[in-house]
Structure 1
Amino acid sequence: MQLVVARIGRAHGIKGEVTVEVRTDEPELRLAPGAVLATEPASAGPLTIETGRVHSGRLLLRFEGVSDRNAAEALRNTLLIAEVDPDELPEGEDEYYDHQLMDLDVVTKDGVEVGRITEISHLPTQDLFVVERPDGTEVMIPFVEEIVTEIDLEEQRAVIDPPPGLIDDRAEIASSRDDSARNDSAGDDSA
């Protein structure tokens, strides 16, 4: 099975290095020197990682045969894809591969059906489940422990405890002002 493990960013320097947006929890395994990765678009690869290093908090990679800035820049926005055994599981206890989460039924802790996971969106701050509801609309659920309380792969479901307003229109509006302070200042005419 193929998994997207990174997206190539801009060129770095003049010797063919590129920045990468890592999309795997195991970059030391998937993006190590010597790794051969398929690409999307396929015409850009396959690419073999020659070197890797961290610079100012960003992973920089150099690929075999890519030796200058122009060649590196031509790879921008290319997805890097690793071949992974479908039975392989992540090392961490509460870690999952995207393919394990796709098509899981999403229910609230009270058993109310919300929908089915159709996509996982990887954002810089957190991941989101894109959930298709039975009526065809979509809702985005942050994949954080406080909201997604259980992933049950055997039962093929994700249990959520959503805050008000996340999956319905019962949002609670909180004011930063105190009602009594507003009333006091409304009658104050000492200007």
Structure 2
Amino acid sequence: MMAEPHQEQAWLEIGRIVAPQGVRGAMRVYPDSDFPERFLEPGQRWLRREGQGQPEPVELLKGRDLPGKGLYVIELEGVSTREAAEALRGAVLLVPEGDRPPLESGEFHVQDLLGLEVFHHQTGQRLGVTVDVFSAGNDLLQVELDAALVPQKQESVKTKSKKKRQKPPSAPTVLVPFVEAIVPVVDLEQQRLELDPPPGLLDIIN
């Protein structure tokens, strides 16, 4: 989905630079992508520095995986010292939103899973909405539960007058393993998914 003329380009975040690696400008990247080629195959990427609005094009020269670390080491054109790599700490690596590798059956892009309405597979009851996706062995969906389903406990907070007032609680969330047995239906066209939760997964709900 390349941007049309005069429209703002949409971007996909693929990783974040977290530290220099060595003294020759290499840097460690924490990935936000399940596609290793984003960090291993040379070519153009984009970089958004901390506090910067528009990303700048950069050339990925090469990259490699750090086994057991969940990190990649990359080298960018024009970054040849540890100091230059350190200056990029916290910067985000991006690709255009339209640059999406093909998926196999049952695979989804993270961005497409955010904001989906969540329903109970058996009862049809709406449970909440997806707000994040985490990689931890199996992927985990973070679901923000509808407030009406959860017992409400008001939190007391002190004001300057030392009187207590009631603070609305934040919306509770649950982490759901993103496996077919628990998430049997993902309908991107209808912007919804269905959960068949095992015992204990939704104990927070009455």
TM-score norm. by structure 1 comes to 0.74
Contact conserved, 2:183 with 2:193, CA < 8 A, in 1? yes
**2:97 is aligned with 1:62:** no
**2:36 is aligned with 1:27:** yes
Unaligned runs of 5+ in 1: 171-191
Residue 141 (structure 2) aligned to one of 129, 132, 144:
129
Deviations 1:18-64 (CA, angstroms, capped at 9, x unpaired): 12222212231565312221325264952321222335454210111
Deviations 1:110-150 (CA, angstroms, capped at 9, x unpaired): 12211111x22324434332222221433332323332222
Measure the CA separation in 2 of the matches of 1:18 and 1:11. Answer: 4
RMSD over aligned CA atoms reads: 2.6
TM-score norm. by structure 2 comes to 0.69
Deviations 1:59-80 (CA, angstroms, capped at 9, x unpaired): 2101111111122122223221
Instruction: Work out the number of aligned pairs and report it.
Output: 168
Provide the residue aligned with 1:156 in structure 2: 191
Unaligned runs of 5+ in 2: 1-9, 148-170
Contact conserved, 1:89 with 1:96, CA < 8 A, in 2? no
- One-letter amino acid of the structure 2 residue matched with residue 127 of structure 1: D
Measure the CA separation in 2 of the matches of 1:33 and 1:132. Answer: 38
Measure the CA separation in 2 of the matches of 1:102 and 1:56. Answer: 29
Measure the CA separation in 1 of the matches of 2:91 and 2:134. Answer: 16
Contact conserved, 2:110 with 2:133, CA < 8 A, in 1? no
Contact conserved, 1:90 with 1:96, CA < 8 A, in 2? no
